[in-house]
Chains A and B, each alone.
Chain A
């Protein structure tokens, strides 16, 4: 089957085009570097079959960051991604019509390297607004290449493009291309001069459709209003996650109450009823109740990405981040880290400086990811029963605390690490403002949220079953889990934790949110049937002494633990893959665990001292 490779600038509309070509709905976002990995799909709706490969944006065939390297590698040799495809049969070069010079320079490089090319002009609506529409017929004759115009939002122009692709693919197989090792300054300058001439020849005589539209950048890139609006956007972002979610969360809670009542009424008393009511239902409720919050987090992140705001945030944050050894380009990976560390670490590929990228990867696990929401939610409702505003304030404190911890860690490590700090500087293209494409924002929110439910759901189900079994047998008072937990107690007692918390922490290695499910199961089996998790936790006492298990000190120590400890084996695996070193990955894992233990110990001791207990 022939191979099509999409190539072009970051943010030029490659992913929208990919979605149109393959019928998939991968998220397309208005941030340079949103695609950091190649994506494979099958051509749809064309008279011929083909594999389609979407690649990260590149400025030239000489890559300077990891995402660009992946794109150039896919052009050189796509066989790693598509077995048997030794070179692309057609490169679809995406040219943003509203700023065509840079993409045309890339087209020239691709042609010189010997790739068979079809040019696609994107953003025709924007180009019409600005009066810089390019005539595809004239451009085609100037380039001597096939040219199609496609509107990525509406799909207008797709039939013509598919015909062009089929026509190009039916031509005899080309010679393998040869990529340049370097490109001289003179050649870049010549290419731009050439691109200017081509654009001047192909520019259609259309007048602007809108002569004056307000430029949002006047506010968002203003020296001082830029900072103020950035703070406002971030505050609204985190406020909305909590404010909008709480009614939905109550709904999820009611749903589970109904299910529990149904289970109690319908299931005959016995092991099965116990399993459902003590194992499965509490395990799921504890985590699913946070799905609305996570969905809203993903939705807002999608809107920020698709509108073009993130690139502005990057500019505003570059200076502050440079003080702690990072780069403006670290902003998006760190912000994504509040959703999940895995895509965040992948997004760090767009950071060209090696040390800046390393530091970003190191501190991403400190960002308060969505899996920690259920844990902090539970702990804060123990600390502040029926005082939602205090919990809210404390949650804000946790978020700010995680940013502060990250900043301190990065600042310290940037001075300590013996790594050459040749910065690659900071350059970023600021994409035009656009209204988000609601269809893609909503479908990516759905995909990411469902991904969370699926990933967590499977783990929670297995762990809940396992925990229920382990804590139920041979008898609840001499269960297997109790024995295992007791073995951990020397490590836990300085913080005032007992075996129940210990087994929860062990379970949290599967995924942090499982901590809550595990506790729910352990307490459901131990406590009176039908008791609420919070109630049984509040009444829990340390065996032997009779003092409460969950005191201010022990709960705060748990908060401290979860802020720092890198309890997520997927994050560990992604870090190893991204940085390519087992040694560094293992060091990171144990450093965070050790530091988490010390930090929670210090918090427990400090709280006890302060409260005089």
Chain B
């Protein structure tokens, strides 16, 4: 899939960029929790801001705002 290129994930977003979640990949309990926060395949997500020095990223989705560590955001493929 994707012709051998690494699939993009939420950490690749620029500020204000809006994308659609495609799938999740990572530890099952983390993926389950992320989906419970609403990051399900097909959901529209916009990057609101990134904390400096590799800190958490804040996303707007489903009418609310959720912050995730980058490790967690990297589980969400777009």
A interface residue numbers (CB < 8 A to B):
59-60, 62, 64, 98-102, 105, 130, 132, 183, 185, 188-189, 192-193, 217, 221-224, 226-227, 311, 314-316, 318-319, 322, 328, 423-430, 432
Whether A223 touches B50, Cβ cut-off 8 Å, given contacts A315-B67, A428-B67, A429-B65, is: yes
Q: Which residues of chain A are within 8 angstroms of B67 by Cβ–Cβ distance?
A: 221, 311, 314-315, 318, 328, 426-428, 430
Q: Which residues of chain B are within 8 angstroms of A99 by Cβ–Cβ distance?
A: 62-64
Q: Which residues of chain B are within 8 angstroms of A193 by Cβ–Cβ distance?
A: 40, 42
Q: In the bound complex, do residue B32 and residue A183 qualify as a contact, i.e. CB atoms below 8 Å apart? A: yes
- In whole angstroms, what is the CA distance A314 to B51 when docked? 11
Say yes or no: is B11 at the interface (Cβ < 8 Å to chain A).
Answer: no
* Those 7 A-B pairs whose CB atoms lie nearest each other, nearest first: A319-B55, A99-B64, A99-B63, A426-B69, A430-B65, A425-B72, A221-B49
The secondary-structure label for the interface of chain B is mixed
Closest B residue to A222 by beta carbon equals: B49
Q: In the bound complex, do residue B62 and residue A427 qualify as a contact, i.e. CB atoms below 8 Å apart? A: no
- In whole angstroms, what is the CA distance A100 to B62 when docked? 8
Q: In the bound complex, do residue B33 and residue A64 qualify as a contact, i.e. CB atoms below 8 Å apart? A: yes
Cβ proximity bits B32-56 to A, threshold 8 Å, 1 near / 0 not: 1111111011110000111111111
- In whole angstroms, what is the CA distance A89 to B35 when docked? 30
A-B pairs with CB below 8 Å: how many?
121
Partner of B58, one of A102, A132, A315, A425: A315
CB distance from B53 to the nearest CB of A (A): 5
Q: In the bound complex, do residue B69 and residue A188 qualify as a contact, i.e. CB atoms below 8 Å apart? A: no
B interface residue numbers (CB < 8 A to A):
24, 29-38, 40-43, 48-56, 58, 62-69, 71-72
Whether A427 touches B65, Cβ cut-off 8 Å, given contacts A192-B43, A227-B52, is: no
CB distance from B5 to the nearest CB of A (A): 25
Q: In the bound complex, do residue B30 and residue A424 qualify as a contact, i.e. CB atoms below 8 Å apart? A: yes
A64-B29, A98-B63, A328-B56 provided; 17 other pairs, C-beta below 8 A? A59-B36, A59-B37, A99-B64, A105-B36, A189-B35, A189-B40, A223-B52, A227-B52, A425-B33, A425-B69, A427-B66, A427-B68, A428-B66, A428-B67, A430-B58, A430-B65, A430-B66
Q: Which residues of chain B are within 8 angstroms of A426 by Cβ–Cβ distance?
A: 56, 67-69, 72
CB distance from A68 to the nearest CB of B (A): 11
Q: In the bound complex, do residue B55 and residue A318 qualify as a contact, i.e. CB atoms below 8 Å apart? A: yes
Whether A427 touches B33, Cβ cut-off 8 Å, given contacts A102-B38, A217-B48, is: yes
Q: Which residues of chain B are within 8 angstroms of A105 by Cβ–Cβ distance?
A: 36
Task: From B24, B55, B66, B72, name the one whose CB has the most chain A CB atoms within 10 angstroms.
Answer: B55
Q: List 8 A-B contacts (CB under 8 A).
A: A99-B64, A105-B36, A192-B43, A314-B67, A316-B51, A328-B56, A424-B29, A430-B65
CB distance from B4 to the nearest CB of A (A): 26
Closest A residue to B32 by beta carbon equals: A185
Partner of B65, one of A60, A132, A217, A223: A217
Q: Which residues of chain A are within 8 angstroms of B32 by Cβ–Cβ distance?
A: 62, 183, 185, 188
Q: Which residues of chain B are within 8 angstroms of A188 by Cβ–Cβ distance?
A: 32, 35-36, 40
Q: In the bound complex, do residue B64 and residue A130 qualify as a contact, i.e. CB atoms below 8 Å apart? A: no
Q: In the bound complex, do residue B65 and residue A102 qualify as a contact, i.e. CB atoms below 8 Å apart? A: no
- In whole angstroms, what is the CA distance A60 to B48 when docked? 25
CB distance from B32 to the nearest CB of A (A): 6
- In whole angstroms, what is the CA distance A192 to B40 when docked? 8
Closest B residue to A322 by beta carbon equals: B69
CB distance from B69 to the nearest CB of A (A): 4
Q: Which residues of chain B are within 8 angstroms of A316 by Cβ–Cβ distance?
A: 51, 55
Closest B residue to A126 by beta carbon equals: B63
Task: From B37, B43, B62, B65, name the one whose CB has the most chain A CB atoms within 10 angstroms.
Answer: B65
Q: In the bound complex, do residue A226 and residue B51 qualify as a contact, i.e. CB atoms below 8 Å apart? A: yes
Q: Which residues of chain B are within 8 angstroms of A185 by Cβ–Cβ distance?
A: 24, 31-32, 35
Partner of B62, one of A60, A102, A432: A102
CB distance from A544 to the nearest CB of B (A): 57
Q: In the bound complex, do residue B56 and residue A318 qualify as a contact, i.e. CB atoms below 8 Å apart? A: yes
CB distance from B55 to the nearest CB of A (A): 4
- In whole angstroms, what is the CA distance A99 to B43 when docked? 14
Closest A residue to B35 by beta carbon equals: A188
Q: Which residues of chain A are within 8 angstroms of B43 by Cβ–Cβ distance?
A: 192
- In whole angstroms, what is the CA distance A296 to B2 when docked? 58
CB distance from B29 to the nearest CB of A (A): 7
Q: In the bound complex, do residue B52 and residue A221 qualify as a contact, i.e. CB atoms below 8 Å apart? A: no
- In whole angstroms, what is the CA distance A316 to B50 when docked? 10
Q: Which residues of chain B are within 8 angstroms of A60 by Cβ–Cβ distance?
A: 36
Q: Which residues of chain A are within 8 angstroms of B29 by Cβ–Cβ distance?
A: 64, 424
- In whole angstroms, what is the CA distance A311 to B63 when docked? 17
Task: From A60, A102, A328, name the one whose CB has the most chain B CB atoms within 10 angstroms.
Answer: A102
Closest A residue to B28 by beta carbon equals: A185
- In whole angstroms, what is the CA distance A243 to B54 when docked? 36
CB distance from B9 to the nearest CB of A (A): 14
